[in-house]
Structure 1
Amino acid sequence: MKFALITAILFSSIGFAQASSIDKGKTLVEKANCAACHGANLNAPILPAYPKLAGQYPEYLYYALRAYQVGNSNPQFGRNNAIMSSQSQPFSDADLKDMAAYIASLPGNFVVKK
C-alpha cells in the first residue's frame, strides 16, 4: 500500500511544472490577494503565524492548497483553517497547480539551520 502511494505521488509530480502555467498562476495569486497575509512577493508575512511561501516546492504548495479545499471532510488529508479553506474553494485543480508553480518560482529566503 505504501509503495503504491509513493509511486503514485512520484508519477503525479513528474512534469508538474511543465503542465502548469506560471503566468496563469500569477494572475490567480493576484486575484486571490494572497499578499494580503503572506506579504510582498509572498515572502514577508504580516504576522509570524503566516508562512513564507516564495520558493517553496510546488508539490508541497499544491498539496497544502488542496488539503485546505478538502478541509474537515477528510481528517487524514484535509487541513482545517477557516481563512485558507474559503480562499482555496473557488479554484480548480489546474488552478491550484498553476498557483503552486508561480509561488515556487518566486525567490525565497528560507534558512536551513544546522
Structure 2
Amino acid sequence: MKFALITAVLFSSIGLVNVANAASVDKGLALVEKGNCASCHGAGLNAPILPIYPKLAGQYPDYLYYALKAYKVGGGNPQYGRNNAIMGALVQGYSDADMQDIAAYIASLPGNFVIRK
C-alpha cells in the first residue's frame, strides 16, 4: 500500500512539473512579433527575404529551442555556439522560458518541409 501511494504521488508530481514548464504559443507569438522575426524570415516565418535565411515555420520545437540557445552562447564555444551577430544580439534578452515559448509558436506554424524518400 505504501509503495502504491509513493508511486502515485511521484507520477502526479511529474505531471505538475510538465505543466509548469509547458511552453506558451501565445507568449511565443508576442515575442516573435516584438523581435520582428518576419523582417528576415519572411511572411509566416516561411518565406525568407534572402536564401541565406532559413525557413522556420514547422520546424521541431526542440531544434528551434536548441538553435536559439546556441545563438545565445555565441561563436565563442565552437562545439555548441552559433556565430551570427544579429541572432546573437536578439536572443540575449530572452530567458530559457522565452526561447521555449518562441520555439513552440514557430513549430505550430504551417511549414512546407518535406522528407524525401
TM band (smaller chain): 0.7 to 0.9
Q: Among 108, 111, 115, which residue is 1:112 paired with?
A: 115
Deviation at 1:87, TM superposition (A): 1.2
Instruction: Give the fraction of aligned pairs with identical amino acids, expressed as a percent.
Output: 72
Measured in 2, the distance between the counterparts of 1:91 and 1:30 equals 14
> Where in structure 2 are there 5+ consecutive unaligned residues?
1-17
Structure 1 length-normalised TM:
0.82
Size of the aligned set, in residue pairs, is 99
Q: Computing the radius of gyration over CA atoms, which structure comes out larger, 1 or 2?
A: 2
> Where in structure 1 are there 5+ consecutive unaligned residues?
1-14
Structure 1 runs (4+) greater than 6 angstroms displaced:
none
Deviation at 1:112, TM superposition (A): 2.5
Deviation at 1:76, TM superposition (A): 1.0
Deviation at 1:50, TM superposition (A): 0.5
Structure 2 length-normalised TM:
0.80
State the one-letter code of the partner of 1:52.
Answer: K
Measured in 2, the distance between the counterparts of 1:85 and 1:67 equals 9
Is 2:117 the counterpart of 1:79? no
State the one-letter code of the partner of 2:28.
Answer: G
